[in-house]
Amino acid sequence: MNSLHEGILTELSYRTSRSSGSGGQHVNKVESRVEAVWNVSESKALTPEQKAQILSRLKNRIDQSGNLSASSSTSRSQHQNKQLATERLLALVELALKKKKIRKKTGIPNSVKEKRLKEKKKRSELKSSRKFRSDD
C-alpha cells in the first residue's frame, strides 16, 4: 500500500445499516451493510491539484458536503463488507487520479485511401454498365 492509501485510510469513517433483500431474521437484526465515507475537500492526504482532479472526475459520486462514499452489502459479515467498501473507495480514488492518455492524431493510411477509391471505381463501373445506350 502506498502513502496516499495510508493517508486516506486514516481519514475514512464508516456507517453501517441493515442490508436489503431476503435473509429472514438475520437480515432484520444485523447491520451488515457498510458504507465507507471520505471527505475529499477536507483531506490532508492530497495536494490541492489532486483534490480538484478528484472533485471534477467524481462529481456525480460526491455529495454537497464533499463526501465520497462506497458501500458494500454483498457479504453477511460486516467485517468483510467493511474491507470491500474500503477497497472500492480506494479504487475509485486511484482511477480518478490516473492520468488519461492524450490521443495523438494520425493520418488516414494510404492503403485505406486506395481501397476506398477502388470501391468507388467498382461501384461507378457497375452503375455505368446499367445505363441505356442508344446505338446512334
> How do residues 7-59 score in pLDDT, each as one tens digit?
788 888 888 887 776 666 666 677 788 899 988 888 888 888 988 888 888 88
User: What average pLDDT does range 84-98 have in this prediction?
Assistant: 90
Task: Please determine, looking at this structure, whether the domain spanning 3-97 carries the CATH number 3.40.50.11890.
Answer: no
Q: What local confidence, expressed as pLDDT, does residue 23 receive?
A: 64
Buried b (16+ CB within 10 A) or exposed e, 37-46: bbbbeebebb
Mapping DSSP to helix (H, G, I), strand (E, B) and coil, where does residue 29 land? helix
More confidently predicted of 18 and 113: 113
The bridge status of strand 33-39 relative to strand 13-17 is antiparallel
Q: Is 136 a residue whose pLDDT tops 70?
A: no
Q: What local confidence, expressed as pLDDT, does residue 73 receive?
A: 85
For the chain, the C-alpha Rg in angstroms (whole number) is 29
* Contacts of 48 by beta carbon, 8 Å cutoff, 6+ apart: none
